[in-house]
Every structure is written in C-alpha cells, then in structure tokens.
Structure 1
Amino acid sequence: MEAKQRTIKSLIKRLSSDSDQTQSEAISELRLLSKLDPETRTLISDLGAIPFLAQSLYSQSTQENGIATLLNLSISNRELLMSTPGLLDALSHVLRSGNFPATSTAAATIHSLLIEPNYRPIIGSKPSILTPLIYLIHAHPNSPIRSIKDPLKALFSISLYPLNRPKLVELGVVPPLFMIVLKDRRAGVVEDATAVIAQVGGCYESVEAFRKLSGIEILVDLLDVDSGSTSRVRENSVSALLNLVQCGGENAAQDIRDMGSLVLHGISDMAENGSSRAKVKAGALLKVLAARGSSERERSNEGDYWSGILNSSSYSSDTL
C-alpha cells in the first residue's frame, strides 16, 4: 500500500507540471491504475487528484484520459467528485465538446454519480448538463451505439427524480426519444429509450408533448404482440402509459381508450404473460382505463365495455 501511495503522489505532483506532455503522461498512468487496480481509486481521490483531473477536461490533449479516470473514480468516490468545485461545469464542457468517445464517457460518469439519489436534484438543476445530453440522443444511425446509450442511461437516472421530468420535457427530450424508437433498430437502444420515455411520462407536462408526436399511438404499436418488440420494450410501454394516466388524469386515459381493441389486446397480453412486474403494471393500467368517473356517465357503453373486459379476466382481482 505504501508503494502505491508513493507512486500516486508522484503522479499527482506531475499533474501540476507546466509541461503538457508531463501532465498527459501522468493522467494516462492514473487512468490505467484506476482501471486495473480498484484499490487505487480511493487513494487517487484522497490524495487530491480530482481537481487536476477536472481541469484536464478543458484540454483536447488530456480530455479523453481525464474523463475516463474520473469515471473509474466515480465508482467508489462519488462524494469527493461531487464536492469538487467546478466538476459539473467541466463535465458539461466535455458533453458539448463533440469529442467522441469523451462525450459518452462524460455521460457515463454522470450516470455513475446519479446512482446516489441525493445527487439527482443537483444535477437535474443544471440545464448546462441536461441540454447537451438531450442533444446527444438525437438519432444518428451511423453513430457508435455508445454515443446514444450512455446519454440515455444518464437521462434515465436524471428522470428518476420526479421534479426533473418537467424540465426535461421543457428542454425538448420527448421528440428525440420517440425518433429513436421509430428509427433506431440497434440492440438495446429502443429498450433504453422506452425506459426514459416511461419515466418522463410521469409528469403532467408529458401529456401534451406525447400528443404532438402521436406518442400514445407509438407506445400502443410497441405493445402489439406482432410488432416484434422485446419484452422489455413492451413492459416499458405499459409503464409509460400507466405513468401518463396517473399524472395526466382522465384526458390521458381517454386518449388511450380511443385506441380501442389494439391497446386492450396489448395490455391484456402483458397482464397475462408478462413478467411479474409487467403484470402488476398492466393490471393497474387496465383498472384505470376501466374506471368511470361521474362526469363520464354519458359514455356508458364504452365504460361498460372496459369494465366488462376487466371483470371477466384473470386480472380482475387486486394486483397492487
């Protein structure tokens, strides 16, 4: 351990050198150490490397190794990273740099930091981070898969905090998410995009945003057993619709009912054949759609139709 400390102290001292080459070589060595030896991550952080690494993100020559080292350190030293002045600004700079793979590594670092729930409102309050993350998920069919998946994972973590969802909608996250669903067929990408859609759907502002893009129709199409959607995509679609009606009320519920038998068949199949979690969500969604408020009495035939489906099915009992 003492030998490791001496090595790391020497490398950190070289980070303050006036020589760009000396700094670059030191950061490269720290990246390798933090990747291959998990024990060194805490030593590198505790011995004061993080401020130097944050500063390295502003230089083209050190940016890629600097952000990769910070990602490695974030696995076990999130508090030290978050308490470093200017770190989030430096991450924002990388996200806007257009320098792949540094941009993806920065998004992955943010995702790692967001594993700690207390940091979700902090990072979610930074448009300088949210805006470039949203820009990065705009569909580019020829771009590396990491360039889409890492920002999607970061946006998913951000959207786990409910108050961040309206901000994401306001900043324009909904259109690129649905564009990915419609155009990107690479493994795992649609799964990640629909996971974000499901979370973002959990705010009132999403109702109108989804309507503008025929979002409900797209989600219902994904539920179709003949669509070729994976089980995870179908479960995410059910979650999105459930969150939408829970936050958007009767108007959102009616938008879904208007899809008729197509939506019913998709939800029913998930309620009967999905995972245990999917069954719960699908059952809850069917109950919401079957419910009739006093203001909906004039829709008696439609209400009876949905209620009859619910009462005659195996998911009529309490599933929540």
Structure 2
Amino acid sequence: MYEKMQSLIALWCESNGIELPKRQQNCRTKKYGGSCLSKDVATALIKLLCEGTPTGKKDAATAIFNLSIYQGNKARVVKAGIVAPLIQFLNDAGGGMVDEALAIMAILASHHEGRVAIGQAKPIHILVEVIRTDSPRNQENAAAAVLWSIFTGDPLQLKLAKERGAEAALQELSGNGTDRAKIKAGSILELLQTCPKTQQTLVHTALTPNYVLKSLIALWCESNGIELPKRQRNCRTKKYGGSCLSKDAAIALIKLLCEGTPTGKKDAATTIFNLSIYQGNKARAVKAGIVAPLIQFLKDTGGGMVDEALAIMAILASHQEGRVAIGQAKPIHILVEVIRTSSPRNRENAAAAVLWSLCIGDPLQLKLAKKLGSEAALQELSENGTDRAKIKAGSILELLQRMEWVDNL
C-alpha cells in the first residue's frame, strides 16, 4: 500500500517539477513506513485530487486518507488546503467523489484544526442532505464523525443545524442507521436538546427563583459574619436576576456545603447547581475549591450527598476549568464504581456527563478508565441504562476501541 502511495506521489511530483523532500527522522518513519506528510507532498496530492483523471483523483484520495490516519498529518493536510476541494466534491453529487470526500472529512474532523476548518466552510446544509438521502456508509460518516465532531466543539453550529432541519433527519437515522450512526445521531439529538450556551441537558424543569437563592446566601453570610459583596456590573444582573457568583459568596456556599446541617448542605448544593448553569459561574465555583468536597462526598457513600455531588460535577464538567480540576482529582475509579452500582440517575451523570467529558478531551484519562476496568461497566450501562446513559456509554466505548486501534498501529 505504501509503495503504491510513494510511487503515485513521486510520479506526480516528477511530472510537475517538484523535488521530493528528504526523509524526516522525527516522523517515526521506521514504524509507519515513511508516513510523515510534508507540505510539498500534501500540496501535490491535493492538486492531483482536484485536477487529475478520475482514477488519479481516487488514488490521491486513498493516499490522503491513509496518510491522515496519523495525527500530525491531519494538521499538515488541513494547512495545505484540503477542506475546500472536499466541500466542492460534496456539492457536486454527480462527480463520483462524495464517498471519498466524506471519508477524509470524517478522519480530519477528529483533529482540532480539522474541525475548525470544516466548520468555517459551513457544510451543515450539505451534511444534513447526505443524512437524508445518501448511502448508509455516507450517512454514518456525515453524522457519526463530521457533524458530531463539529457540534462538540462549536455550539453555534448546533444553532445552524436546527435552522437547517437536522433534527428530523437525525431522528430517522437514529432509528434506521448503522449501529455507529444510531449512537452518534442520538448524541447529536441530545446536544440539540440542550442549552446552546452551557450544553447542559436540564435535569428538571422546576427552577429555583433567584430571590430564593439570594435569600439563602444572605442568610448564611449573615449568620457567619460575612459581608455580602456589592452588586457587580459585569455579570448582567439585570438580565439574569443577580446570578453572578462572587468569590466570597462561592466560598460561603462551599463552607455551608462542607460544614452545614444535612438540610443546609442540600440547600447549598441546590444553590451551587443552579448558579453553575451560567458559564462564568462554573469557573468561579471551581476556583473557590468546589471539586475537593464533591470528591469527598462521592467517597462517603453513606453521607447522603452522592446525588448532589454528581449533579454538580456533571454541570462543571462542561467547562474547561471544571474538566481540568476534576481530572486532577483523579476520580475515575470512583466514577467507574458509581456506574457499576449506583442509581440510574447517578450512573447517567457519572458516565453521560463527567466520565465522557473527561475522556473526550484527555487521552490519559481515557487510558486510565480502560486500566480501571471501565469497559465492562460501560457495556452493561449501554444495554441497561437510561437513554442518555446508553448513548454516552456507547460513545466512551467507541473512544476506548479507537484508542486501542491506534495503539496497535
């Protein structure tokens, strides 16, 4: 396979006066058969993809796909300008290159630079049409890889998908697509049903009025001799009813969470959860030290605060600082045990929110989850959990399988 790629690249470069680069030692050429993709070679392959004969285009697409399996090559081929011709192939349904374009886009979408470049090309309407009308393999690549990868990194793309009528197409795919397409279509539908700002599914619809939250905070601060901070102008207090969480208020709530009566702890947890719906408050709660007591509550299963701790961790895990702080606390073994033994709601929060958020952004957490035997627990959850837990457990299992496949290359 690599000999064919090398011959194809060499032939085209020779006919176009481009000197092949010398072998680079930092690309693991011995292990991967010379798989490092230089700028000149990437440019040559893309030109062949655009201007070659039908057979030449197919061969170039195959070479680009195989070379893009390796993470470093994804960024190189994106920088060389691969996305624009791929979008053109999708627009030209009669050109015979739709299958190849979707396969390459699916593999590039797993890389940050690939997701950004594909998103900037605004392909949502084309991908939705593919999901509606194309072959099962193309439906899977469009929904299970490209759309899902774009959506998890950019909430604005979710809004665009809603406007393009993606929900109906995805609903049909989640019932009649391939197994992988069903899982990813379900995940996208779940994202479409969450808050576009926080990407959190509402746990319940019984909202706590802001004046109740303010009264609870004021009462505790007064009883502990803490002066309430003055109103801050940068927190959109008019729009959100004073929902900004100051440093002093966050510390006060966390202290009540740790040292209060059982009722006080529950009230503090409810307040922290509701305030953390707003994105800026997640970082404030994390900086105030919320993660350590939450981990302690998870360890103390008889303390009656496991449900609340998991609910708060689930909402904090949607924020970068929350993910980092939770990951540093090394909770994987506790989360796996929750998935094995706890209630359906807790299993869903542990797997569908916290564990998924940690694993999708950090390969080291994914490896640790595998090492701690999460696969068996996730497999059982994907068969017997709530609908949301099934989808997220399936996504984590897919990440584990993909990691194992990459490690075996």
TM range (shorter): 0.5 to 0.7
- 1:177 maps onto 2:95 in alignment: no
- Written as runs of structure 1 = structure 2, the 5 A alignment for 1:146-295 is 147-184=97-134, 186-194=135-143, 195-204=145-154, 205-223=156-174, 227-241=175-189, 248-250=196-198, 253=201, 293-294=274-275
* One-letter amino acid matched to 1:133: L
- 1:129 maps onto 2:82 in alignment: yes
User: Is the partner of 1:86 in helix, strand or coil?
Assistant: helix
* One-letter amino acid matched to 1:188: R
Shift of 1:190: 0.9
Encode CA deviations 1:255-275: one digit per residue, 9 max, x unaligned.
Answer: xx99xxxxxxxxxxxxxxxxx
Task: Name the residue aligned to 2:381.
Answer: none
Compared with structure 1, are the counterparts of its residues 217 and 113 closer, same or farther at alpha carbon in structure 2 (3 Å cutoff)? same
Tell me the distance in 2 between the aligned counterparts of 1:49 and 1:137.
24
Tell me the distance in 2 between the aligned counterparts of 1:187 and 1:49.
30
The structure having more radius of gyration, on CA atoms, is 2
Q: Is the 8 Å Cα contact of residues 169 and 200 (structure 1) preserved in structure 2?
A: yes
Encode CA deviations 1:197-236: one digit per residue, 9 max, x unaligned.
Answer: 111222224223323312244323432xxx4223221112
* One-letter amino acid matched to 2:161: F
The alignment of Structure 1 onto Structure 2 pairs a total of residues equal to: 207
Task: Name the residue aligned to 2:308.
Answer: none
Tell me the distance in 1 between the aligned counterparts of 2:48 and 2:176.
37
Q: Is the 8 Å Cα contact of residues 222 and 233 (structure 1) preserved in structure 2?
A: yes
* One-letter amino acid matched to 2:34: N
* One-letter amino acid matched to 1:105: D
Q: Is the 8 Å Cα contact of residues 136 and 177 (structure 2) preserved in structure 1?
A: no
The alignment's TM-score, normalised by the length of structure 1, stands at 0.52
Task: Name the residue aligned to 2:33.
Answer: 76
CA RMSD of aligned residues (A): 4.1
- The structure 2 residue matched to 1:111, chosen from 65, 83, 101, is 65
Q: Is the 8 Å Cα contact of residues 124 and 160 (structure 2) preserved in structure 1?
A: yes
Shift of 1:133: 0.9
Task: Name the residue aligned to 2:47.
Answer: 93
Tell me the distance in 1 between the aligned counterparts of 2:349 and 2:159.
32
Compared with structure 1, are the counterparts of its residues 244 and 202 closer, same or farther at alpha carbon in structure 2 (3 Å cutoff)? farther
Q: Is the 8 Å Cα contact of residues 9 and 45 (structure 2) preserved in structure 1?
A: no
User: Is the partner of 1:93 in helix, strand or coil?
Assistant: helix
Tell me the distance in 2 between the aligned counterparts of 1:53 and 1:101.
13
Shift of 1:180: 0.6
Q: Is the 8 Å Cα contact of residues 151 and 188 (structure 2) preserved in structure 1?
A: yes
Compared with structure 1, are the counterparts of its residues 243 and 313 closer, same or farther at alpha carbon in structure 2 (3 Å cutoff)? closer
Shift of 1:139: 6.2
Compared with structure 1, are the counterparts of its residues 158 and 313 closer, same or farther at alpha carbon in structure 2 (3 Å cutoff)? same
Shift of 1:111: 1.3
Q: Is the 8 Å Cα contact of residues 89 and 95 (structure 2) preserved in structure 1?
A: no
Compared with structure 1, are the counterparts of its residues 92 and 247 closer, same or farther at alpha carbon in structure 2 (3 Å cutoff)? farther
Tell me the distance in 1 between the aligned counterparts of 2:200 and 2:348.
22
Tell me the distance in 2 between the aligned counterparts of 1:102 and 1:247.
46
The alignment's TM-score, normalised by the length of structure 2, stands at 0.42
Compared with structure 1, are the counterparts of its residues 249 and 220 closer, same or farther at alpha carbon in structure 2 (3 Å cutoff)? farther
Shift of 1:51: 4.1
Tell me the distance in 1 between the aligned counterparts of 2:109 and 2:160.
16
Shift of 1:101: 3.2
Task: Name the residue aligned to 1:286.
Answer: none
Q: Is the 8 Å Cα contact of residues 160 and 199 (structure 1) preserved in structure 2?
A: yes
* One-letter amino acid matched to 2:112: P
- Written as runs of structure 1 = structure 2, the 5 A alignment for 1:297-316 is 315-316=347-348
Tell me the distance in 1 between the aligned counterparts of 2:349 and 2:198.
22
Tell me the distance in 2 between the aligned counterparts of 1:164 and 1:183.
25
What are structure 2's unaligned runs of at least 5 residues? 18-31, 206-272, 279-310, 312-342, 356-409
